[in-house]
Amino acid sequence: MRTWLSDHVKDRLSTFGLIVPSIAQCAVGAALAWVIARELLGHPQPFFAPISVLICVGIGLGQRLRRVVELVVGVSLGVGVGDLLVSRIGSGPWQIALVVALAMTIAGLLDSGALFVAQAGSSAVLVATLVPGAGAGGLDRMLDALTGGLIGIAAVALLPASPFAIAAKHLSGVLDALSTVLERAAEAIEKRDVDLAAEALEEARGTQAAVEEFEQALETSKEITMISPLHWHRRARLARYETAAQPVDLALRNARVLSRRTLASLGEASPPPAALAEAMREVSEAALLLQLELGAGREPTLARQALLAVAARERPEQLGFSAHVIIAQLRSVVVDLLQATGMEHSEATAALTPLDDKAGRE
């Protein structure tokens, strides 16, 4: 229990470390946007300006540039519809319902983006409820939204989170999951343990969320290197993560099939041999090597060499049907990870030992 709690605390602190820059960006940007909109633009209550910074920057991972566009256009649409109707029909419960429905309907027809539609509706609500006593025009609120969006982008550029820390953190989650699946499947084969094989399958089935989080983190990292001058000269390092993104996704998909077949194989008359478990474990260790080398900003040569050694190994003989399927999936995982190290697909498949005299390539 104590070990689990300690690991959980360490994980939460590590995750919190990634969002500290975003918190600083939000805090500084919100204050600065308020000052600019109030003192330079002369808006007495520029509430849209700091709100825009928070929406633009946020503390999550996402496409900030797209959020700025959706924010400004959504606010403009909501304010425009709200001002037009409220000035004619007044403010009240049914007027609010009408204004929100109309603004969100128009936004939904123009763009299905959730932020765009929600921002149009929330802006319409603010206009319908605050405009009568606020004394500010729709154009002022549009300028506030634009000011906050631009300040948010500036905050990301000048107070950036490390794009490499973000990418490395999430790729580590993907490769850790892959390594764990292969390790448990190998142990299940060695011990002829159906329960361990079932655990490996359950672990494999829950890996897609890690892949999706990594893809989103990679988009955020690419955006930071594009926006922030502090990271322009280091884009080549991030390119290694881009190279690895699709192959590690495919590797996990193949690992799911491998773990499912491992579970099935333990009920057959000819279960997989221990040599196959050893190969799984070597691929598992190569995945962790890939994680370490990319995290250190190095070319993943050690991981590539380890994978090539597995690829060149001869296939065990006298295998059952499921063992043949497991080997095919493990070979596919090896090819995927070799591509993640930067090898071309044709080069990676050529490194595999032929399955038999008639089949030379995957």
DSSP 319-350: --HHHHHHHHHHHHHHHHHHHHTT--HHHHHH
Contact between 197 and 262 under an 8 Å Cβ cutoff? The reply is yes
**pTM of the entire predicted model:** 0.67
The C-alpha atoms of residue 340 and residue 249 are separated, in whole angstroms, by 10
Q: Looking at residue 112, what is its pLDDT? A: 61
3 state SS for 55-102: HHHCCCCCCHHHHHHHHHHHHHHHHHHHHHHHHHHCCCHHHHHHHHHH
Which residue stretches of the chain are H helix?
Answer: 2-35, 48-57, 64-89, 93-110, 114-134, 138-158, 163-191, 194-205, 208-227, 235-265, 274-295, 301-311, 321-340, 345-350
Q: What are phi and psi of 299, to 5 degrees?
A: -65, 130
d(CA 282, CA 182): 9
Residues of the chain below pLDDT 70: 1-18, 58-68, 71-72, 112-115, 126-127, 130-138, 159-160, 316-318, 355-362
The conformation of residue 39, written as its DSSP 8-state character, comes to I
Output the pLDDT for position 47: 78
**Residue 73: CB partners within 8 Å, gap ≥ 6?**
116
Which pLDDT belongs to residue 59? 47
CA distance 74 to 96: 17
